[in-house]
């Protein structure tokens, strides 16, 4: 039986050779081609890029053959390229969309297939459903054109997307003060597409950049996966201490997400980073505009919104919800719990490179280390603490969802439950302004239990109660 392909939180992902095959990549490419054809885009250009996972460059070529076979022209990145750079190339090249061969932060066994629209952002849920419906049941129904012939005829152009992206960055941020600040910056590229970028951007001054995990290695040694959270970043945190770094910047596998470690080798979690970035835009850059957040990210944003008089919009989890809302509201910033943040003036796509540069600029502008920036933020909105537990799940999802719904807890972790939001999973609002969220991952067969609270000593109790409600313990 032909495998049904479903686009989750951000595209389709599967185990290489088992689900993720050349045949299925071609089927997905045909579905995307038909989607664009239905929009009257035949004959126009599509950007295709890839990460450093096993065979990614060859899967990208397979996708290119299908796009050309359906009457499109293709800009193909010359090498593994960060997702935000691919996204910007769509706008820069006036393309009608993009295919990105990447599994982002997934385990080394996986690869993935992301699609983007003419703005370089995630396609909305209705568009993804349309693409799914157009994926043919068999590879026999896929149209192809040989890659070598397509390249020789100019139907496929190999290009370096970095050049114009770097020029674009100069419109968003002045790098010279960072170069001249004498910082000791440690970068963990997690064996992924972010390797070399901060070194390239910040060279020529007194700031030093030391990179680790900056080669291609698709098994991702010294970490479970290229996801910028503990324990995957423990080597980077230790390196920061050993080399007396001022900050640790971590980019995930495709460099659309950023993680942060302070000068003491302590991880600053992704919710705190989002609040720091929003605070930086509002206070240092004096920008104003809406903030878009998923329901799994921090309530500190609502507090900042009140302080600075800007609206905050909450969406479901995934940039397929965030990107359209950013475009609709002309948002100043949009982001999610996974550590992905997008910014006005850039494409509506997560950008781990730009986010990292903004953190460095924040440090330079105030002459403060990351721990000091966090304390400054807490002085404005109060201290907030967060954690997440991921658990493999193979059972009956609907039965489990009903069990969670029927639980109706009056308190979680000793805090009164004041509301339940079922927009995307089950989000229990707590009396301190914190929350517990239980939801199924959109990219992997796991259940996630998240929480945020103003009580540091209650984080683990909230998570434990959440696991009980979810039937995981």
pLDDT in tens, 269-291: 999 999 999 999 999 999 999 99
Report d(CA 129, CA 384) in Å as an integer. Answer: 37
**pLDDT tier, 394 (very low <50, low <70, confident <90, very high otherwise):** confident
**pLDDT tier, 443 (very low <50, low <70, confident <90, very high otherwise):** confident
> Tokens 């470690």 label which residue?
261
- C-alpha closest to that of 272 among 382, 356, 374, 376: 374
**pLDDT tier, 441 (very low <50, low <70, confident <90, very high otherwise):** confident
pLDDT at res. 442: 78
- C-alpha closest to that of 125 among 287, 281, 325, 332: 325
Could you tell me what percent of the chain has a pLDDT over 70?
100
Backbone angles phi, psi at 210, to 5 degrees: -115, 125
The mean pLDDT of the chain is 96
Report d(CA 291, CA 332) in Å as an integer. Answer: 6
Report d(CA 305, CA 288) in Å as an integer. Answer: 10
User: What is 173-381's CATH superfamily?
Assistant: Alpha-D-Glucose-1,6-Bisphosphate, subunit A, domain 3 (3.40.120.10)
| Cα 39 to chain centroid, rounded | 27
Asked whether residue 1 carries a pLDDT value surpassing 60, the answer given is: no
Burial class of residue 28 (count of CB atoms within 10 Å of its CB; 0-12, 13-18, 19+):
buried
Asked whether residue 458 carries a pLDDT value surpassing 70, the answer given is: yes
198 HSE (CA, 13 A, CB side): 33
* Helical H segments across 135-269, by residue range: 147-152, 162-172, 176-179, 197-202, 234-242
pLDDT at res. 3: 79
CB-CB neighbours of 450 under 10 Å: 25
Total-model pTM:
0.94
pLDDT in tens, 30-58: 999 999 999 999 999 999 999 999 999 99
138 HSE (CA, 13 A, CB side): 3
**pLDDT tier, 445 (very low <50, low <70, confident <90, very high otherwise):** confident
pLDDT in tens, 300-351: 999 999 999 999 999 998 899 999 999 999 999 999 998 999 999 999 999 9
pLDDT in tens, 344-389: 999 999 999 999 999 999 999 999 999 999 999 999 999 999 999 9
CB-CB neighbours of 246 under 10 Å: 20
Kind and range of the H or E element at 386? strand 385-392
Tokens of 300: 């500190």
Do the beta carbons of residue 29 and residue 101 sit within 8 Å?
Answer: no
Is domain 385-469 annotated with CATH 3.30.310.50?
yes
pLDDT in tens, 233-270: 999 999 999 999 999 999 999 999 999 999 999 999 99
Residues 6+ apart with CB under 8 A from 232: 190, 223, 224, 225, 226
**pLDDT tier, 444 (very low <50, low <70, confident <90, very high otherwise):** confident
- Does 307 or 443 have the greater pLDDT score? 307
Asked whether residue 10 carries a pLDDT value surpassing 90, the answer given is: no
pLDDT at res. 75: 98
Same fold, 12-165 and 173-381: yes
Give the architecture-level CATH label for domain 12-165: 3-Layer(aba) Sandwich (3.40)
pLDDT in tens, 214-233: 999 999 999 999 999 999 99
Residues 6+ apart with CB under 8 A from 121: 87, 319, 323, 324, 326, 327, 342, 347, 348, 349
Residue ranges per structural domain of the chain: 12-165, 173-381, 385-469
**Cα–Cα distances in angstroms (integers) from residue 314 to residues 308, 325, 352, in the given order:** 17, 9, 21
């Amino acid at each position: 039986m032909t495998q049904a392909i479903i686009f989750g939180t951000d595209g389709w992902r599967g185990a290489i050779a088992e689900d993720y095959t050349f045949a299925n990549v071609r089927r997905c490419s045909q579905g995307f081609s038909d989607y664009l054809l239905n929009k009257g885009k035949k004959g126009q250009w599509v950007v295709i890029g890839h990460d450093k996972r096993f065979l990614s460059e060859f899967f990208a070529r397979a996708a290119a053959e299908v796009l050309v076979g359906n009457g499109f022209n293709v800009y193909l990145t010359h090498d593994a390229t960060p997702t935000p750079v691919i996204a910007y190339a769509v706008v820069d090249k006036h393309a009608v969309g993009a295919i990105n061969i990447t599994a982002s932060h997934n385990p080394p066994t996986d690869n993935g297939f992301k699609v983007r629209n003419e703005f370089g952002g995630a396609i909305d849920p209705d568009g993804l459903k349309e693409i799914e419906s157009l994926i043919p049941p068999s590879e026999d129904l896929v149209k192809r054109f040989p890659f070598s012939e397509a390249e020789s005829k100019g139907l496929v152009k190999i290009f370096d997307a970095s050049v114009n992206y770097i020029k674009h960055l100069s419109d968003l941020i002045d790098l010279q003060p960072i170069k001249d600040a004498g910082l000791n910056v440690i970068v963990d590229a997690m064996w992924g597409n972010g390797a070399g970028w901060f070194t390239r951007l910040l060279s020529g001054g007194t700031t030093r950049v030391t990179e680790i995990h900056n080669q291609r290695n698709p098994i991702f040694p010294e970490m479970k996966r290229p996801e910028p959270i503990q324990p995957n970043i423990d080597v980077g945190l230790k390196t920061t201490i050993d080399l007396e770094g001022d900050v640790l910047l971590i980019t995930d596998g495709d460099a659309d997400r950023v993680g942060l470690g302070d000068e003491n080798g302590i991880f600053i979690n992704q919710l705190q980073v989002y609040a720091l970035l929003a605070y930086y835009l509002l206070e240092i850059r004096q920008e104003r505009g809406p903030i878009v957040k998923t329901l799994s990210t921090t309530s500190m944003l609502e507090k900042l919104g009140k302080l600075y008089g800007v609206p905050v919009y909450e969406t479901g989890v995934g940039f397929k919800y965030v990107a359209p809302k950013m475009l609709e509201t002309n948002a100043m910033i949009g982001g999610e719990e996974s550590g992905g943040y997008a910014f006005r003036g850039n494409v509506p796509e997560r950008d781990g490179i730009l986010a990292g540069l903004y953190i460095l600029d924040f440090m330079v502008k105030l002459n403060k280390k990351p721990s000091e920036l966090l304390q400054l933020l807490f002085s404005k909105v109060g201290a907030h603490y967060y954690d997440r537990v991921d658990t493999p799940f193979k059972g009956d999802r609907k039965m489990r969802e009903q069990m969670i719904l029927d639980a109706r807890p009056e308190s979680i972790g000793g805090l009164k439950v004041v509301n339940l939001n079922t927009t995307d999973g089950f989000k229990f609002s707590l009396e301190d302004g914190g929350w517990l969220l239980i939801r199924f991952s959109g990219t992997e067969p796991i259940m996630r239990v998240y929480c945020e609270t103003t009580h540091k000593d209650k984080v683990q109790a909230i998570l434990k109660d959440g696991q009980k409600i979810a039937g995981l313990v």
